[in-house]
Amino acid sequence: MKSLVLVWAALWRKPSATLLTAGATTAAFMLFGLMIGLYDAKMQMLNAARPDQIFVLPRYYPQPFYGMPIAMAGEIERVDGVAAVGSLNNVNSSQRGPGDWIVLVNEGMRDSRPDAPVTPAQWKLLFSTPTSVLVSRDLAKKFDLKPGDSFPVTTLREEGSTTYEFQVQAVVPEDPQWGQGMIWGNQKYLDNTAPLPMRNKANIFWISIKDAARATEISRAIDLRFANSPTPTYSIPVKADRQTQVSLNINQIGVMLGVAGAGLFMVLFLVANAVARSVHERLPEFAVLHTLGFRESRLRRLVILEAAFPCVLGAMVGTALAGILMTVPARKLSYNLSLLLAPTLSSVVLAWAIAASILLALLSSVLPLLKLKRTHVADVLAGR
Amino acid sequence: MATWRQGVVLMRMDLTGWRARVGTSIVIVLGMACVTGVLASTLANRAGLIRMYDATGDASRVMIMAAKSPSEFNANILPSQVGTILNAPGLAKGSKGETLGDAEIRFRVLPPPGASWRPISVEGIGAEGIALRQNFRLVAGRMFEPGLHELLIGRSAQSVYGLKIGDPILMRGGNWTVVGIFSSGGDVMENGLVADALTVMSGEGISAFGSVLVKLERPSLFEPLKQWLITNPAMAVGAERQSDYYIRTAGQYLGYLNFFSFFVGAIISIGALLGSVNIFNAVVSSRSLEIATFRAIGYRALPVAASVVVEAVALALAGAVAGAGGAWLLFDGRQMVTGMGIYSMSVSAPVIALCAGWAVTLCLLGSAAPALRAARLPVSDALRSS
């Protein structure tokens, strides 16, 4: 307790310097929170990818492209080892908003995605009316949507613009396999109302298999079945797909981590400089404390605590600011900023920030502690 | 002594006496190095993408596409329209008197399993396709034969997809074989596969071209060509310079890269700014006796303040050189694979200049208040307290 009183007094000896240092660490940790938040979201998606599921995509995309016939699902189901087949299509909005995230699924998804965070009752709600959508928690927050809300989405295609009116049936937990939030709609809506070439089409089949060890073999079997059809397929195990995406984006991930690291590296020197100056100016005070019986370990603790204050405060405030930014509804942000924000700030990011702040405090105390160690009490008290 | 002379004396003293403040100087330099390093490395991404687009077309290369949906991926130029387009005024001629224009098509296929799941583009070119691209050269293998299922792969694409000569690419109607590797100066074409336009269109069942690429006699003939095309009621086509086309199609992504650079640059700069105010305050405090002495012997306030600012600017420039230099060493030429293509990051001269300006501005802002404090330091108080 005595130590805390001394640290507190030391910090407020020069309030402006303490606040400026804390401000600098806050900015660095805000950046850290934003970048690590994005990195964490990518990694969570990779780790959540199921080894017993496969994506089936069109092998090529002739223009204009409307998708694969949904009737292919029945053919895929007959491939040995396939457990269930779900189909996905999407509605792309011509305006920014929830329309960017709407994926229309068919009833097959209920069985092909048994891991989806959707209860049987919510599945039933989704398929009860064509206009139903299920919105994940983060996107509901982002777009300020709740059960019962309706929102229009206008698409703009060569075939003409179409306006779809969706109704939120339920807010569901995040799907760890989905990454940046999801809005699932009912494929029947598209089949009933879209321009004719777009009806009964799927962009992706999401299938589950009985044995994860046979994922590659089953992928090849599906592709062989459609090799000479008008719609050849390209099948890839979900796990392999996510790994490929992460490895292709490794440069971007490197940039994210590099930016986060550069911010911390910068404040490391700022904090170290502030603490070194404080220790230098207070050498007589340390000498007196030592004379009064404060052990060296206790003096060291004082210095480390003094360094830790702006670091931990900056980590908490900076990460909180990043978190607050992520809760702002997307429509109130610029489109580019909304892309930069992870859907939520997980507790992992906060834990990383606190750990980084403690490491920062320890590293920035090294030089001041060495200086303190080399100081002779008698010399300082004598003013030498 | 004249004010400017006083300033020179003080600045010389400041700059030669930096050893006395080596710790704080290093912190400022490293802080600015981090800011400029982050800014340079993120801007290098955008600069690399723009460089790829610039390499794709000089000002005299023009793409003619359907007016309704101007994209080379939309096959909307009928073969019957191509002859009329190539008869447009102002088009350059080749050595044999042929018009330098080529009807082309572009679409995407998926590479073989194991290479990557990212779709790769196939560009179908015609007889003048190579003549229009002066940077095009074959680096391995041979040219494709029209009529055969043969492809070339760009050097950038090859380094990402790992495909080599002899590898098959499954397209409608069977496998196509990679027979050569080409380079085209790191442009968009180098990101994908190239084949004979008529052969791929026949294989894929595509009945129209996506664009007609033409070369103008001189860049200033672009507007007359455009007018000639859009006023022809039978055509329904539009014209766009090739480099502008790619900048337009990548506009949203370029905007995002720009935003990302300046957003992260701004946040890290706030940290650096607060830190530099703190440090320059400490520098002025530690020099209060020296400043008061100069003021006591007749030095004016302006040169005293200017000396603080000049020191800040010198440190900012040193930091900018360190940061931009570090970014250049780490990222210049580093390959990026994004949805917009495969390109190398570029820590170019404009990027470095922007970073230097950014660092200098930050240090000017950071040193302004401490410089004012130095200028207003009450001489007697400073001498007494020291």
Contact A158 B68 (CB under 8 A): yes
**Residue A24 contacts B where some CB pair is shorter than 8 Å:** yes
Contact B259 A334 (CB under 8 A): yes
Confirm if B193 and B180 have CB atoms less than 8 A apart: no
Q: Give the mean pLDDT of A186-215.
A: 91
Confirm if B111 and B162 have CB atoms less than 8 A apart: no
Confirm if A55 and A235 have CB atoms less than 8 A apart: yes
More confident residue, A304 or B292: A304
pLDDT on residue A6? 84
Nearest CA in chain A to B210: A63
Residue in the structure block whose two tokens are 């073989």: B112
pLDDT on residue B340? 77
More confident residue, B326 or A142: B326
Q: Of A367, A21, A365, A326, which Cα lies nearest the Cα of A181?
A: A326
Does the structure show a pLDDT above 70 at A159? no
**Residue A31 contacts B where some CB pair is shorter than 8 Å:** yes
Single-letter residue type at A302: L
A230-256: burial string, b at 16+ Cβ within 10 Å, e else: eebbbbbbbbbbbebbbebbebbbebb
- Residues with Cβ within 8 Å of A135's Cβ and at least 6 positions away in sequence, in order, are A98, A143, A145, A168, A170, A171, A172, A182, A183
Q: Best mutation site among B202, B278, B332 for testing chain A: the one with the most A CBs within 10 Å?
A: B278
- Residues with Cβ within 8 Å of A179's Cβ and at least 6 positions away in sequence, in order, are A41, A42, A44, A45
User: CA A364 → CA A7, A277, A353, B140, B283, distances in Å?
Assistant: 16, 12, 16, 54, 20
d(CA B334, CA B148): 36
Nearest CA in chain A to B253: A336
Q: What confidence category does residue A1 fall into, taking pLDDT thresholds of 50, 70 and 90? A: low
Q: Give the mean pLDDT of A229-249.
A: 77
Contact A21 B274 (CB under 8 A): yes
User: CA A81 → CA A177, A208, A220, A221, B58, distances in Å?
Assistant: 22, 9, 12, 10, 54
- Among the ranges A37-46, A105-114, B47-56, which has the highest mean pLDDT value? A105-114
Residue among B30, B117, B335 whose CB faces A244 most closely? B117
d(CA A93, CA A265): 42
Vertex B290: Cα angle to B284 and B292 (nearest 5)? 85
Does the structure show a pLDDT above 80 at A331? no
CA B48 to chain centre: 4
Confirm if A201 and A88 have CB atoms less than 8 A apart: no
Q: What confidence category does residue A11 fall into, taking pLDDT thresholds of 50, 70 and 90? A: confident
d(CA A94, CA A163): 10
Q: What confidence tens digit (pLDDT) does each residue in A16-39 have?
A: 888 999 999 999 999 999 888 888
pLDDT on residue A187? 94
Model ipTM?
Answer: 0.77
How many residues would you count in chain A? 384
d(CA A329, CA A333): 7
Q: Of B184, B98, B192, B127, which Cα lies nearest the Cα of B153?
A: B192
pLDDT in tens, chain B (386 residues): 677 777 787 777 777 766 777 888 888 898 899 999 989 988 998 899 888 888 877 789 999 998 877 888 777 888 999 999 999 999 999 888 889 999 999 887 777 766 666 778 899 999 899 989 888 999 999 999 999 999 999 999 998 888 889 998 877 777 899 999 999 988 889 999 999 999 999 887 788 899 999 999 999 999 999 999 988 887 888 899 988 888 888 887 888 888 888 998 999 999 989 988 888 888 888 777 777 888 788 788 888 888 888 888 888 999 999 999 999 998 898 888 777 788 888 999 999 999 999 999 998 898 888 888 887 877 777 666 65
pLDDT on residue A60? 64
Residues from chain A that touch B272, judged by Cβ atoms under 8 A, are 24, 266
pLDDT on residue A62? 59
d(CA A226, CA A228): 6
Residue A383 CB neighbours (<10 A): 6
pLDDT on residue B384? 67
- Residues with Cβ within 8 Å of B229's Cβ and at least 6 positions away in sequence, in order, are B64, B85, B88, B235, B237, B238, B239
pLDDT on residue B61? 92
Confirm if B102 and B128 have CB atoms less than 8 A apart: yes
Pairing mode of beta strands B150-154, B174-183: parallel
Hey, what long-range contacts does B217-220 have (CB within 8 A, 24 or more apart)? B217/B60, B217/B90, B217/B91, B217/B92, B218/B60, B219/B58, B219/B59, B219/B60
pTM metric for this prediction: 0.77
Count of helix runs (H) and strand runs (E) in chain A: 15, 12
Confirm if B329 and B10 have CB atoms less than 8 A apart: no
Contact B274 A24 (CB under 8 A): yes
More confident residue, A124 or A381: A124
- Residues with Cβ within 8 Å of A293's Cβ and at least 6 positions away in sequence, in order, are none
B360-377: burial string, b at 16+ Cβ within 10 Å, e else: bebbeebbbebbebbbeb
Identify any residues that bridge with A150 across adjacent strands, giving them in sequence order. A167
How many residues would you count in chain B? 386
Residue in the structure block whose two tokens are 């299920």: A134
Tokens of B102: 């080529």
d(CA A116, CA A106): 14
Provide the greatest CA pair distance for chain A: 94
Q: Best mutation site among A259, A271, A339, A340 for testing chain B: the one with the most B CBs within 10 Å?
A: A259
3-class secondary-structure state, position B69? coil
Identify any residues that bridge with A87 across adjacent strands, giving them in sequence order. A205
Conformation bin of residue A47: beta by default, left when phi > 0, alpha when psi is -120 to 50: alpha
Nearest CA in chain A to B281: A17
Q: How far is B256 from chain A (nearest CA, A)?
A: 5
